Amino acid sequence: MDEKDKFKLIHKSMFNLEENQNSEINEDIIKRTYYMLKKIRSVEERIAEEYPYNEIRCPTHLSIGQEGVPAAISTLVNDHDYFVSTHRGHAHYLAKGGDLNKMIAEIYGKTTGCAGGKGGSMHLIDKQKGFMGTSAIVGNSIPLGVGLALSNKLKKKNSISCIFIGDGAIEEGVFYESLNFAVLKNLPVVFICENNLYSVYSPLSVRQPEGRSINLLAKAIGANVAHADGNNVLESRKVLKEIITKIKTCESGPWFIEFDTYRWREHCGYQFDNHLGYRDENEYLAWKKRDPLELFKKNNQVLIDYGKIDKFIESEIEEAFRKSKTDPFPEKSEAYQKLYAE
């Protein structure tokens, strides 16, 4: 039995992977949610540690501080549901069940990566898990997610399409076109906006009119809307569960959910960048006090062994980085192969 099979057995013993997503919060859901929350944080912190050694040669956008929403939705979807994501997509890939070994190998540009080493951090994909890709272009994955939802409806599949976007994507024309089409066709799609207040170094105040509500803007187009604290994992899960259930059982049409959250590190890279002056240090510290990981532990009323889960995650991460560093790079002859969607 190889190491990967061992991890699968341990994982199944820790979590009931067949848990009915319609059940109420229980110990199993809490364990699985915490597992994903902690895994996303630990994986990205390890990427930040390894990045200065110059072996990771692609740009990488970390979502440390924003783990709440992907962790919340991770127990509410299955392999038949679709995710599309952005340049900041590690958390969404993992939350959809993407293979950690393949993700780390992709970041290192290895042939064993989920995109064969050609895509890097910003182009992750795992079609077997319903993770249909990330994109380096802001807003580029939005129409793909809507198209997937249209496909589900035409084929009468009881599945949803989840489109992860940031607040910056609201300023792209394709957002309005896609949301309008989704409303017109009453598609089973959820637009999940992780509003972290900044697009690169630009706050909302210099990008959008004062007083504008992103949520109400989506409502004006005809979408059903909701707004939640993205750092409160259990609250976010409750909102997402209600909406996903409505779409799958009542065909309630497209939803737009705005989650308030905040990234801790620089827009692109592994460092902190508050010294640049585009955001206030006090603002950063205030958001850091609302760490989604610590809030989860504070709000959770179910007694679980966090240490046991943490050790398992550490083993997974250690194995993924060890293997990725020794995996081969693609051959030169592969440079022009598999460049287009199949």
CATH code of 218's domain: 3.40.50.970
318 in a structural domain: yes
pLDDT at 293: 98
pLDDT in tens, 98-145: 999 999 999 999 999 999 999 999 999 999 999 999 999 999 999 999
Distance from C-alpha of 193 to C-alpha of 215, rounded to nearest angstrom? 9
pLDDT at 18: 38
231 in a structural domain: yes
337 in a structural domain: no
What range does the domain containing 163 cover?
Answer: 17-327
Distance from C-alpha of 230 to C-alpha of 238, rounded to nearest angstrom? 11
146 in a structural domain: yes
Kindly state the percentage of the chain with pLDDT values over 90. 88
Mean pLDDT of 49-60: 97
pLDDT at 62: 98
142 in a structural domain: yes
Evaluate if residue 331 carries a pLDDT over 60.
Answer: yes
10 in a structural domain: no
Mean pLDDT of 63-89: 98
25 in a structural domain: yes
pTM confidence score: 0.92
Strands in the chain per DSSP E: 82-84, 161-166, 189-195, 198-199, 202-203, 224-229, 255-260
pLDDT at 13: 45
Mean pLDDT of 275-283: 95
| Residue 192, CA distances (Å) to 142, 170, 234, 259 in order | 11, 11, 16, 7
Mean pLDDT of 282-309: 96
Kindly state the percentage of the chain with pLDDT values over 70. 92
Evaluate if residue 17 carries a pLDDT over 50.
Answer: no
pLDDT at 3: 41
Mean pLDDT of 216-232: 97
Q: Which comes out higher in pLDDT, residue 245 or 25?
A: 245
What are the backbone dihedrals phi and psi of residue 121, each rounded to the nearest 5 degrees, phi first?
-60, -35
7 in a structural domain: no
Distance from C-alpha of 285 to C-alpha of 297, rounded to nearest angstrom? 19
Mean pLDDT of 224-243: 98
DSSP secondary structure letters along 234-271: HHHHHHHHHHHHHHHHH----EEEEEE----S-SSBSS
Q: Say how many domains are in the chain.
A: 1
